[in-house]
Amino acid sequence: QVQLQESGPGLVKPSETLSLTCTVSGGSVSSGSFYWSWIRQPPGKGLEWIGYIYYSGYSNYSPSLKSRVTISVDTSKDQFSLRLNSVTAADTALYYCARHKRGNNPFEIWGQGTMVTVSS
Amino acid sequence: EIVLTQSPGTLSLSPGERATLSCRASQSISSSYLAWYRQRPGQAPRLLIFGASSRATGIPDRFSGSGSGTDFTLTISRLEPEDFAVYYCQQYGNSFSWTFGQGTKVEI
């Protein structure tokens, strides 16, 4: 059974870069059948899709975050990563990684999420 | 970007009752690429419905989805204790900008 696990610093200073990694177990990030996404949820608020990556390295980002986001993949480690630069308090959120089938498909498997707080 | 508006914001019901949740899109969603998720406190969202009306693997038949175009509905026929949670709709018809509704909380 495929499982996703987020990891990374829980505290980031304003203007710095947020970096998170999602490790895939029970499956492979190299599967050509899936996209791998990041989604976030500010405390007490709704969900926001950040972007996705394909094993080939092809990526696609939310227009509202595109200028600050980079998602990369490491097939040798079955991991994919998120970098969000120039963070502010508005980037404080629970960050999830998720898997969805290639093409127009919903998010079928989610990690447990990791909380990131932006504060000095 | 397609904006999804969910109503009501909060639904107060009792176990065994029927819940009807609405999701309205700012423009038509192609091929009914609309999903519903349930999020219990402290947990990640779980996919319930995709393609507007198809239940995901392992989802009991008390959950049903309907609708097309811009108006979609999630119905829970008989609320179980674990169904008191927040529900989100999501459109995935535009792969350059997937969006979620703001959520409906179903409370006792």
- Residue in chain B closest to A96 (alpha carbons) equals B44
Q: Which residues of A62-78 are buried (b: 16+ CB within 10 A; e: fewer)?
A: beebeebbbbebeeeeb
- pLDDT attached to residue B1: 84
CA distance B81 to A110: 23
- pLDDT attached to residue B81: 94
Phi/psi for A91 (5° steps) reads -90, 0
Tokens for A17, please give them. Answer: 């870069």
The residues pairing with B106 across neighbouring beta strands, listed in sequence order, are B11
| pLDDT per position as a tens digit, A58-108 | 999 999 999 999 999 999 999 999 999 999 999 999 999 999 999 889 999
Q: Do B46 and A110 touch (CB under 8 A)?
A: yes
**What confidence tier does A25 reach under pLDDT thresholds 50, 70, 90?**
very high
Mean pLDDT across chain A: 96
Which residues are CB-contacts of A45 (< 8 A; sequence separation ≥ 6)? none
B54 contacts on A by Cβ (under 8 Å) = none
Contact assessment for residue A71 and residue A53, using Cβ atoms and an 8 Å cutoff? yes
Q: Do A47 and B93 touch (CB under 8 A)?
A: no
pLDDT of residue A38 exceeding 70, the answer is yes
| pLDDT per position as a tens digit, B25-80 | 999 988 789 999 999 999 999 999 999 999 999 999 999 999 999 999 999 999 99
Give how far Cα B82 sits from Cα of A86, A113, B38, B40, Å.
Answer: 39, 20, 10, 8
B53 contacts on A by Cβ (under 8 Å) = none
Q: Flag whether residue B59 sits within 8 Å of chain A, measured between CB atoms.
A: no
Q: Do A46 and B103 touch (CB under 8 A)?
A: yes
- pLDDT attached to residue A16: 97
Phi-psi sector, A55: left (phi>0), alpha (psi -120 to 50), beta = alpha
B99 contacts on A by Cβ (under 8 Å) = 49
